[in-house]
Structure 1
Amino acid sequence: MTRLLSLTALGVVLSMSVAGHAGAVEWRRGGTFVGPRGATMTRQGSASCANGSCASSRTVTGPGGTTYMRNGSVTVTPN
């Protein structure tokens, strides 16, 4: 879970740094992780930035089928 949180934080930082540029940016990523005892976890995520605003969405499904979803957004206001 620490790795997932680290990647989430990195995604937010990248989204915030792209927000100041003209044009739109979008990315998607996902994967399946297998633990030491054979349990699997799948992760899907996407984010997009345009006109000073960024939005992201993540879905994680754990070994027991439990699903965790998170959506977020940020708007950068120039000083």
Structure 2
Amino acid sequence: MSKLIATAALAVVLIAGAAADAEAWTRSGTWSGPRGTASVSATGSCAGGTCSRQITRTGPYGGSVTRQGSASCSGGTCTGTRTTTGPYGGTVTRQRTISRY
């Protein structure tokens, strides 16, 4: 039940924050369960046709996963890059380009 309440509270924070400022945003939340407390923290911004964000999730045992990404669109083509770093330092980078015909 506490997980459901924490999720609902996080959704309210996300919606309220989105209405406050469309160019830059910050979100965070924590929740507790039988294995401990976990958290998420996210920031993002858009400027000059490029949007970026960073999300860090920390599990109940202290391990963190960070995801950084950006996307930009021009002339019907959007390009995005995302890098994920795991709790042991390993990284995965993904890139994608989408074109509209």
User: Under a length normalisation based on structure 2, what TM-score does the superposition of the two structures give?
Assistant: 0.51
**1:36 CA displacement:** 1.5
Unaligned runs of 5+ in 2: 1-47
| 2:71 alignment partner AA | A
Greater Rg, structure 1 or structure 2? 2
Over the matched positions of the two proteins, sequence identity in percent amounts to 43
Q: How does 1:1-79 map to 2 (within 5 A)?
A: 25-77=49-101
CA distance in 2, matches of 1:52, 1:25: 12
CA distance in 2, matches of 1:59, 1:74: 18
Unaligned runs of 5+ in 1: 1-23
CA distance in 2, matches of 1:25, 1:75: 16
User: Under a length normalisation based on structure 1, what TM-score does the superposition of the two structures give?
Assistant: 0.64
CA distance in 1, matches of 2:84, 2:60: 18
RMSD, aligned α-carbons: 1.2
